[in-house]
Structure 1
Amino acid sequence: MRGQPTHRISKKALSVWHLKGVISTGLLLIIPAALFFFSYRLQFPLFYVWISGILVAGYGLWNIVVLPKIRWSMWRYEVYDKEIELLRGVFIIRHTLIPMTRVQHVDTEQGPIYKKYGLTAVTISTAAGVHEIPALSEAVGSRLRDKIAYLAGTEESDE
Structure 2
Amino acid sequence: MEQEIKMPEQRLAEQTVPALRLGSTVGHGVTAVLLAVLYGLNVWFSWGRWAEWTIAILAALTLLSAVWGIGVRPVLLHRYYRYSADEEFLQLKSGAFHEVHELVPMAKIQAVSTNQGPILRRYNLYSLEIETMGSTHGIPALKKETALELRNMIAVYAKIREVDE
Aligned 1:140-159 pairs, distance under 5 A = 140-156=146-162
Give yes or no for contact 1:17–1:64 (8 Å, CA) kept in 2: yes
Q: How far apart, in 2, do the equivalents of 1:157 and 1:34 lie?
A: 49
Residue by residue over 1:26-53, the C-alpha shift from the partner in whole angstroms, topping out at 9 and shown as x without a partner, is: 1221225413541453163455554443
Residue by residue over 1:42-73, the C-alpha shift from the partner in whole angstroms, topping out at 9 and shown as x without a partner, is: 16345555444333222211111111111221
Q: How far apart, in 1, do the equivalents of 2:14 and 2:118 lie?
A: 18
Give yes or no for contact 1:78–1:84 (8 Å, CA) kept in 2: yes
Structure 1 position 31 matched with structure 2 position 35: yes
User: Which of 4, 7, 10 in structure 2 is aligned with 1:7?
Assistant: 10
Change (3 A) 1:152 1:47: closer
The 3-state SS of whatever aligns with 1:10 is: coil
User: Which of 14, 23, 28 in structure 2 is aligned with 1:20?
Assistant: 23
Give the TM-score normalised by the residue count of structure 2: 0.82
Q: How far apart, in 2, do the equivalents of 1:126 and 1:52 lie?
A: 37
Using the TM superposition, name which of 148-157 and 54-63 deviates more: 148-157
Paired letter, 1:122: L
Give the TM-score normalised by the residue count of structure 1: 0.84
Using the TM superposition, name which of 102-111 and 5-14 deviates more: 102-111
Structure 1 position 81 matched with structure 2 position 87: yes
Give yes or no for contact 1:16–1:117 (8 Å, CA) kept in 2: yes
> Which residue does the alignment assign to 2:70?
64
Structure 1: unaligned runs, 5 residues or longer: none
Aligned 1:92-103 pairs, distance under 5 A = 92-103=98-109
User: Which of 122, 140, 145 in structure 2 is aligned with 1:139?
Assistant: 145
User: Which of 108, 113, 132 in structure 1 is aligned with 2:114?
Assistant: 108
Change (3 A) 1:57 1:145: same
Q: How far apart, in 1, do the equivalents of 2:130 and 2:58 lie?
A: 40
Change (3 A) 1:98 1:48: closer
Change (3 A) 1:36 1:89: farther
Paired letter, 2:60: I
The 3-state SS of whatever aligns with 2:22 is: helix
Give yes or no for contact 1:32–1:52 (8 Å, CA) kept in 2: no
User: Over aligned residues, Cα RMSD in angstroms?
Assistant: 2.5
Aligned residues: 158
Paired letter, 1:114: L
The 3-state SS of whatever aligns with 1:11 is: coil
